[in-house]
Amino acid sequence: MRITVTVDGTKYSDDVEPRQLLVHYLRERLGKVGTVVGCDTSNCGACTVHLDGHSVKSCSVLAVQADGSEVTTIEGLARDGQLHPVQQAFHDNHALQCGFCTPGMIMQSIDLLADDPDPDETAVREGLEGNLCRCTGYQNIVRAVRDAAAKMSGGAGPEAERVGESQQVAGGGN
């Protein structure tokens, strides 16, 4: 099946097997290996990307379902050499150790902030429930998300993420 997908601002047109998972399309066909696979039951969230601005577990989406859509991965967040504020906050708050869950955790955090720009601790914890981390005990991840929330003025979400003429930086950069 032929699909056309815009990933991190670049348009790709490819023949794919109908059964191919989006995460495998991203990793194996496009070389977007920043997005990783951590489980096979959609519990861990390591493969989280944005599909038309909303977070999805890309192990639970077929590549063909992404036809005509825009996908943003961890590799497409930085703008003009500037990290996304959530990426920066993960660094600033030591919110990662081995870093394997980090791409999915960051993508989910951005989605969470799009829904709730000023989440309290409980809201962050519940909003990240579908993303597992084995290293950090989550405390610094929660801290990072709340730190990013405080620093982001314009919010997150589909509008902020679209790579359009304005080259808008989600949250205004940092």
Strand order in the sheet with 54-57: 10-15, 2-7, 70-72, 48-51, 54-57
Binding of residue 64 to another protein (CB under 8 A) = no
For another protein (CB under 8 A), the number of binding residues is 57
The one segment of 50-58, 61-69, 84-92, 151-159 that binds another protein by CB under 8 A: 84-92
Q: Is 51 in the site for another protein (CB under 8 A)?
A: no
Least spacing, CB of residue 143 vs another protein, in Å: 9
Among 100, 115, 116, 117, binds another protein (CB under 8 A): 100
Start-end of H helices in the chain: 22-24, 85-92, 102-115, 121-127, 139-151, 158-161
Least separation in angstroms between CB 43 and another protein: 4
Rule CB under 8 A: is residue 110 a binding residue for another protein? no
Supply the minimum distance, in Å, between the C-beta of residue 97 and another protein. Answer: 4
Q: How far is the CB of 154 from another protein (least distance, A)?
A: 20
Cα–Cα distance for residue pair 5/22, rounded to 1 Å: 11
Question: What count of other Cβ atoms lies within 10 Å of the Cβ of residue 38?
Answer: 18
Report d(CA 150, CA 138) in Å as an integer.
18
Tell which residue, 19, 16, 3, 103, has the closest CA to residue 61.
19
Q: Is residue 14 helix, strand or coil?
A: strand
Q: Is 1 in the site for another protein (CB under 8 A)?
A: no
167 binds another protein (CB under 8 A): no
Spatial separation of the C-alpha atoms in residues 8 and 14, rounded to whole Å: 16
Q: Which of 1, 10, 120, 137 binds another protein (CB under 8 A)?
A: 137
Q: Site residues (CB under 8 A) for another protein?
A: 17, 19-20, 24, 27, 32-41, 43-44, 46, 73-75, 77-78, 83, 87, 90-92, 94, 96-103, 106, 121, 124-126, 128-142
